[in-house]
Chain A
Amino acid sequence: GDSVTQMEGPVTLSEEAFLTINCTYTATGYPSLFWYVQYPGEGLQLLLKATKADDKGSNKGFEATYRKETTSFHLEKGSVQVSDSAVYFCALSDHSGNTGKLIFGQGTTLQVKP
């Protein structure tokens, strides 16, 4: 079945460092891909998404490009801030049955130190 694999965390960076969180997927067909962010004690918020190959999603300085050839959707940010500390989830849409179900990776915790 479809699946999402994220890099193991936690990831600890200093403020203004470059961030990469790897995400790879396995899917039949052409799923849409998402990054969600969860701040402590809160629900998930959509960070960005891409719906087809070579699309780039971007928001709040974060970017991710849908790479069909490598089945990847890595999250990047050029300069992280302390306020970016959160758990980041990569997800893909399950197109079977037209239910809009999402399949999530296990999440990657990011801690940014001043």
Chain B
Amino acid sequence: SQTIHQWPATLVQPVGSPLSLECTVEGTSNPNLYWYRQAAGRGLQLLFYSVGIGQISSEVPQNLSASRPQDRQFILSSKKLLLSDSGFYLCAWSGGVSVTDTQYFGPGTRLTVL
């Protein structure tokens, strides 16, 4: 069966520090991968998605970047964090075979920027 992992689960970082969040998927090949952010009390905002290794599409211009160095690994990064980067970051995957495919979410990383 497929599983999705995210780490760390919780992170507290000072403003201006770098960021690296990692997401890995097991049990599937060539998934579509997604990064979402959920600010406190708000809905989900799609940040990046990837349909293959090295292929990244950005949905919202911002302070963050994403990379996909391996088929089942998706990394969210920042060189200098802002206060507004605080939130709950969720990674998701889908089979990518059909647009009706369900997205499956990881447990999330709660980031607090102080």
The 3 A-B residue pairs with the shortest CB-CB distance, nearest first, are: A106-B43, A43-B105, A44-B105
Contact present for A100 and B94 (CB under 8 Å): yes
Q: Given A89-B43, A104-B44, are A44 and B90 also a contact pair (CB < 8 Å)? A: yes
Q: Please, what's the 1-or-0 string for B72-114, where 1 marks a CB less than 8 Å from any CB in chain A?
A: 0000000000000000001010101011111111111010000
Q: Does A69 contact B (CB under 8 A)?
A: no
Interface pairs (12), CB distance under 8 Å:
A32-B99, A34-B102, A43-B6, A43-B108, A46-B102, A93-B100, A100-B32, A100-B94, A101-B46, A102-B46, A106-B42, A107-B44
Q: How far is the CA of A112 from the CA of B22 in the complex (A)?
A: 35
Our pick among B42, B96, B105, B107 for the contact of A100 (Cβ within 8 Å) is B96
Q: Does A79 contact B (CB under 8 A)?
A: no
Contact present for A99 and B32 (CB under 8 Å): yes
- On chain B, which size bracket covers the interface? 20 to 34
Q: Please, what's the 1-or-0 string for B35-56, where 1 marks a CB less than 8 Å from any CB in chain A?
A: 0000000111010010100000
Q: How far is the CA of A46 from the CA of B103 in the complex (A)?
A: 8
- On chain A, which size bracket covers the interface? 20 to 34
| B93 vs chain A, min Cβ distance (A) | 10
Q: Does A49 contact B (CB under 8 A)?
A: yes
Of B46, B99, B104, most A-chain CB atoms within 10 Å: B99
Our pick among B34, B102, B104 for the contact of A101 (Cβ within 8 Å) is B34
Contact present for B57 and A99 (CB under 8 Å): yes
